[in-house]
Amino acid sequence: MQVHVNDQPLDLLPGMTVKHALIKAGLLKEVESGRKVYDEWGNEVGLAGALVEGTKIWVR
**In which domain, by residue range, is 28 found?**
2-59
pLDDT digits (tens, 9 = 90+) for 1-50: 999 999 999 999 999 999 999 999 999 999 999 999 999 999 999 999 99
User: Would you state the pLDDT for residue 35?
Assistant: 97
pTM of the model: 0.93
- The upper half-sphere exposure of residue 22, i.e. CA atoms within 13 Å in the direction of its Cβ, equals 23
What's the CATH code of the domain at 21? 3.10.20
How many independent structural domains does the chain possess? 1
User: Would you state the pLDDT for residue 48?
Assistant: 97
Q: Give a three-class secondary structure readout of the chain.
A: CEEEECCEEEECCCCCEHHHHHHHHCCHHHHHCCCCEEECCCCECCCCCECCCCCEEEEC
